[in-house]
Amino acid sequence: MAGSGTDKLNLKKFMKNLVSALKEQNLSVEELFSQMDTDMDGRINGPELHKGLNKIAGEFLSPGQISIIIQSMDTDADNRIDLSELRSAIESVK
């Protein structure tokens, strides 16, 4: 459940780690999005985000933590992350 003790997430630290992983792997935001959007529908859902973060950043996150990340990036409230939302979130950290 989001908000429970096991789902706590330092979002700022997480985003810095994600940006560092992108730099280390020389990935653009577009390349990151493309790797995560495995069903190619133009949006990243919870399971895609979970698998992508595990693969790209080595982050093992709970479903609740994934929900926190999606909620923090999802500006149109569709419970998915599109490319512009991901780009905005990452650029806000740089």
Q: What is the pLDDT of residue 1?
A: 38
CB 43 within 8 A of CB 81: yes
Report residue 6's pLDDT band, with 50, 70 and 90 as the boundaries: low
Q: What is the pLDDT of residue 60?
A: 85
Q: pLDDT tens digits, residue range 21-74?
A: 999 999 999 999 999 999 999 999 999 999 999 998 888 899 999 999 999 999
In a domain, 84, yes or no: yes
Question: Residue 83: which CATH number?
Answer: 1.10.238.10
In a domain, 85, yes or no: yes
Alpha-carbon separation of residue 56 from 35, 42, 82, 87, 88 (angstroms)? 9, 19, 18, 16, 19
In a domain, 1, yes or no: no
In a domain, 68, yes or no: yes
- Per the structure block, which two tokens stand in for 80? 């998915």
Please give the average per-residue pLDDT across 63-92, as a whole number.
96
Domain count, the chain: 1
In a domain, 5, yes or no: no
CB 15 within 8 A of CB 29: no
Q: Show the domain range for 49.
A: 10-91
Q: What is the pLDDT of residue 59?
A: 82
Q: What is the pLDDT of residue 52?
A: 94
